[in-house]
Amino acid sequence: MTYSDYRTALVTGASTGMGAAIVRRLTEAGLEVYAVARDEERLAALAAETGAIPHVVDLADVDALERELGALEIDVLVNNAGVSATGNVLDASRGVIDAMVDVNLRAVLHLARLLLPGMVERDRGHVVNITSIAGRYNFFGHTAYHATKAALSQVSRQLRNDVLGRRIRVTEICPGRVETEIFGRNLGGTPEAMAEAWATYYEGYESLTTEDIVRTVDFVVAAPGHVNFGLIEVTPTFQVPGGLTFDRREDA
């Protein structure tokens, strides 16, 4: 089941970073690609560049998902959109937690509800979920982000059960640090914030690039139809999850 077996694809979080790069690759492979994001201007530019079909949709709006995307026949679904934040649950706002649950998890479940039945009927499809090593390893960060990414790992495994007996593959791609705008957006999204994030998180590091993730998506989608890559963890060579923190109280 190589690219020639598929006609259409849908990519969320398509206006920038990994999502835009994945859209470019899938259109180059000859698929009709539906690009989904909130940024109308960037989507329009991507559509003009690639021929992708833009859908300006807030993934947290389930009514909009059903209205804009529910009737599409999609062969390859790439759930790439994600929301993150700095800090942890002790200082998190209600809105920040809700946004992560809505985009990182709830939207993926609803897109599966809307699009998987068509894949089952056509006996053809591939779901690619972009998660994070934050869903597999404990390190300091936003609890809700870790929780939603861990839940998406379970969703990926469960979807394989749901479509058993059909030629539908489900792949979780679990990246470490990738050079995207996510840290800059967490710091406020201004040009100054983007520059600060680059200096803090990327300058001097050999991080993954968006092209590394595109190659991984390309590899799993182009694999023979009898092969399903369930989980691929992709990290920079110099990044390892590990270590044990043992805090000591001086007043103990």
Helix (H) or strand (E) holding 173, with range, is strand 168-175
Strand-pairing partners, residue 126, are 76, 169
Are the beta carbons of 103 and 85 closer than 8 angstroms? no
Q: What does the buried/exposed string (b/e) look like for 209-242 if buried means 16 or more CB atoms within 10 Å of the residue's CB?
A: ebebbbebbbebbebeeeeebeeeeebbeeeeee
**Alpha-carbon gap, residue 156 to 231, rounded angstroms:** 9
145 is catalytic: yes
SS3 content of the chain, % helix, strand, coil (to 5): 45, 15, 35
Which one of the listed residues 3, 137, 145, 205 is annotated catalytic? Answer: 145
Kindly tell me the sign of the dihedral angle through the C-alpha atoms of 160, 3, 19, 134: positive
Active-site positions?
Answer: 145
